């Protein structure tokens, strides 16, 4: 397994700077997720680590070795793409062993490595099938198996679940998490889906317009976002934000507070007139175990509350919103978090 470090890494496409001075160290065996909205540079950064994109300035360090100018095949890393890119005329076994055959390994060595990867990924029953006879999840496992046989020092995943339906995404998240526990290899995973990031990562790197907005464990980012961008990107539904200067707000705030934030599960609904302010129920989203209640709170905007199970409230009802005081977040006029 490899440690990977980025030192002031930058990427320019002509006059456009896509990656803006990234400094990050990834420890051996760590599962790191790059997350952020479309266009934030997460896939470009992954491709720079892989050597598929040239690094305009700065360094890419792999196992304390400067790999910035090395071609991809010398870095010892394996890339798993969004598209499976399997050879349609080859069986699963042939697809998984193709790179080893090209490298000149003996048939017995290839067979041993392919069988081991197939066992890890539970592909044993599909080895003689061709890609057209497999489901999307099975094809993605074959693509991962093709990387495993190479015994890379780190895996790089570029939105590998984007082409799968919702049920398969959940199944493959489990498979990838178990794979990391089994192999204990360094993994870097790119996604725009913050649920994937929260469920898979040891640490999450939140990117915003080519810069790191915050790095931390899923819990750190959820409970202690360093700025408004992270506060609203991490968490579903996103954190409620409203102005600290809205008329009639009877709530003590630290000096310099411009906006307040509260997550939906930290709001309790009560009778009108009991709480920090009132809101009118606009939309109710029943999801079984949870219900999201979206309220029109006038000058405070539209806020979402989360309640367990079903609710007795109906659209048009007026109710009071009570905050768990210790869970309120404060942000200054630059969007930075203030101490609570």
Structural domains of the chain, count? 2
172 & 27 share domain: yes
Give the per-residue pLDDT at 137: 84
254 lies in a domain? Answer: no
pLDDT at 307: 94
167 has pLDDT over 90: no
Mean pLDDT value across residues 279-304: 95
Q: Using CB atoms within 10 A of its CB, is residue 45 exposed (0-12), middle (13-18) or buried (19+)?
A: buried
What proportions of the chain, in percent to the nearest 5, are helix, strand and coil? 30, 35, 35
For the beta carbon of residue 143, count every other beta carbon within 10 angstroms. Answer: 22
Residue 123's domain comprises: 4-230
Query: Can you tell me the mean pLDDT for 167-173?
Result: 86
Interval 70-79: pLDDT, tens: 999 899 999 9
Q: List, for residues 117-155, the tens digit of each pLDDT value.
A: 998 888 889 999 999 999 888 888 898 898 888 889 999
Residues 294 and 210 in one domain: no
In this structure, what CATH number is given to the domain that contains residue 306? Answer: 2.40.50.140
- Considering the domain boundaries, does residue 337 fall inside one? no
Both 30 and 124 in one domain: the answer is yes
pLDDT of residue 248: 76
pLDDT at 65: 94
Residue % of the chain over a pLDDT of 70: 100
Q: What is the 3-state secondary structure (H, E, C) of 70-124?
A: CCHHHCCEEEECCCCCCCCCCCHHHHHHHHHHHCCCCHHHHHHHHHHHHHHHCCH
pLDDT (0 to 100) of residue 99:
86
| 326/328 Cα distance (integer angstroms) | 6
> pLDDT at residue 168 above 90?
no
pLDDT in tens, 24-63: 999 999 999 999 999 999 999 999 999 999 999 999 999 9
Q: Does residue 50 sit in the same domain as residue 185?
A: yes
In this structure, the answer to whether residues 186 and 269 fall within a common structural domain is: no
Residues 109, 36, single domain; the answer is yes
Indicate if 277 and 158 belong to the same structural domain. Answer: no
* Distance spanning both ends of the chain, measured CA to CA: 39
Q: Do the Cβ atoms of 78 and 147 come closer than 8 Å?
A: yes
* Structural domain includes residue 235: no
């Amino acid at each position: 397994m490899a440690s990977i470090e980025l030192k002031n890494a930058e990427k320019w496409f002509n006059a456009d700077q896509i990656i803006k001075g990234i400094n990050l160290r990834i420890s051996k065996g760590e599962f790191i997720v790059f997350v952020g909205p479309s266009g934030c540079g997460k896939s470009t950064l992954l491709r720079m680590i892989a050597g598929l994109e040239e690094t305009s300035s700065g360094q890419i360090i792999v196992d304390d070795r400067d790999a910035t100018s090395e071609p991809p095949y010398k870095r010892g890393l394996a890339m798993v793409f969004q598209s499976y890119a399997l050879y349609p005329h080859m069986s699963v076994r042939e697809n998984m062993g193709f790179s080893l055959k090209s490298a000149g390994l003996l048939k017995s060595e290839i067979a041993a490595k392919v069988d081991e990867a197939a066992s890890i990924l539970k592909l044993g029953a599909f080895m003689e099938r061709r890609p057209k006879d497999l489901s999307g999840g099975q094809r993605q496992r074959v693509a991962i198996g093709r990387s495993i046989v190479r015994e890379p020092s780190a895996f790089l995943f570029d939105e590998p679940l984007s082409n799968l339906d919702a049920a398969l995404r959940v199944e493959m998240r489990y498979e990838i998490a178990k794979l990391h526990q089994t192999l204990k290899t360094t993994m870097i995973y790119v996604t725009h889906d913050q649920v994937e990031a929260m469920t898979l990562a040891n640490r999450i790197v939140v990117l915003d317009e080519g810069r790191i907005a915050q790095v931390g464990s899923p819990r750190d980012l959820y409970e202690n976002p360093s700025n408004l961008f992270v506060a609203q990107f991490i968490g579903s539904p996103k954190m409620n934000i409203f102005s600290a200067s809205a008329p009639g707000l009877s709530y003590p705030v630290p000096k310099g507070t411009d906006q307040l934030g509260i997550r939906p599960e930290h709001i309790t609904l009560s009778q009108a007139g009991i709480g920090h302010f009132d809101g009118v129920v606009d939309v109710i989203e029943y999801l079984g175990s949870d219900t999201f209640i979206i309220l029109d709170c006038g000058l405070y905007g539209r806020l979402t509350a989360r309640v367990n199970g079903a609710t007795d409230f109906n659209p048009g009802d007026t109710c009071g919103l009570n905050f768990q005081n210790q869970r309120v977040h404060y942000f200054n006029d630059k969007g930075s978090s203030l101490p609570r």
